[in-house]
Amino acid sequence: MTISILTLFKEMFVGPFDHSIIKNAIKKNLVKINFINIRDFGIGRHKIVDDKPYGGGKGMIMRVDVLEKAIAQAKKLSSIKQKVILLDPCGKTFNQEKAVELSKLSHLIFVCGHYEGVDARIKEFVDEIISVGDFIVTGGEIPTMLIVDSIVRLVKNVLPENAIDEESFSGMTFGKSYLEYPQYTRPEKFKKLTVPNVLLSGNHRKIKKWRENQALNTTKKYRPDLINKSKTEKRKKKQ
């Protein structure tokens, strides 16, 4: 998979992409990450990338002509199974289902807005708009890091086989998009807290059943909305 990131602040990515799973995926050539400096497409001698908003108001808006040129350049890198994604609070909220969908593509192009945002006309030049939640961050860089991290770990051969099978939201936690069951490791007893006996029993059938119940209980406790979502999806499939 190739990931192209259009940004004015490439330095922000130093660190998050240089460790752990992403670092290994890059090293093994499973993922290639390109940075495209939006400033390179800026206007005039000073490479201007933004301007004041028409109609007045605070802050600076990133110019559509500059962004469009940067997108066109990124698109040339690889055109098979490609998607241009704008990070913007107006987009659909990112989730695991979207991560799985995007992990199957070959070239993802992320457009990071900054300052007061981007000229609205840029939406005509992207395939999809994604938000990371109902809050505002300074730029599209941190949302892109989050999204790229969640996608890269789903790319084939990045993690060992079956490693993500029973993860929260995977849709595979016992066939539903529930949260994961609770996990424990050593010590067996910590202060007054013990590991559930069933996990020490060696009885895999019982452990599986216990985990299934716990996944349901954890979801009911922390995210009851997911139970309703699962029921609605099941109803829709039947119709």
Ligand X SMILES: C[S@@+](CC[C@H](N)C(=O)[O-])C[C@H]1O[C@@H](n2cnc3c(N)ncnc32)[C@H](O)[C@@H]1O
Using rule CB under 6 A, residue 88 touches ligand X:
yes
Please, are residues 9 and 37 in contact by the beta-carbon 8 Å criterion?
no
Instruction: Dig out the tokens for 63 from the structure.
Output: 């110019």
In angstroms, what is the minimal distance from the CB of 180 to ligand X?
Answer: 25
DSSP H or E segment with residue 4: strand 2-7
Among 36, 38, 112, 145, binds ligand X (CB under 6 A): 112
Question: Under a CB-based contact definition with an 8 Å cutoff, are residues 42 and 64 in contact?
Answer: no
Binder among 21, 43, 53, 139 for ligand X (CB under 6 A): 139
136 binds ligand X (CB under 6 A): yes
CB of 132 to ligand X, least distance (A): 4
Taking alpha carbons only, the member of 181, 188, 173, 176 closest to residue 229 is 176
Q: Is 149 in the site for ligand X (CB under 6 A)?
A: no
DSSP labels for 117-133? -B-GGGGGG-SEEEESS
Q: Closest CB to ligand X among 7 and 173?
A: 7
Shortest distance in whole angstroms from residue 89 CB to ligand X:
4
Number of residues that bind ligand X (CB under 6 A): 19
* Residues between 58 and 87 with contacts to ligand X, criterion CB under 6 A: 87
Is the bond into 187 cis (omega within 30 degrees of 0)?
Answer: yes
Q: Bin 223: left if φ > 0, else alpha if -120 < ψ < 50, else beta.
A: beta
Least distance to ligand X, CB of residue 102, Å? 15
Single residue of 34, 75, 98, 116 touching ligand X by CB under 6 A: 116
Work out the angle between the directed axes of helices 141-152 and 96-103 (0-180°, nearest 10): 70
Q: Of 37, 131, 218, 230, which lies in the binding site for ligand X, with binding defined by CB under 6 A?
A: 131
Using rule CB under 6 A, residue 99 touches ligand X = no
Task: Tell me: does residue 120 bind ligand X (CB under 6 A).
Answer: no
**Rounded least distance, CB 121 to ligand X, Å:** 14
Q: How far is CA 81 from CA 31, 45, 101, 129, in A?
A: 15, 36, 12, 17
- In the complex, which residues of this chain contact ligand X (CB under 6 A)? 87-89, 112-114, 116-118, 131-133, 135-140, 143
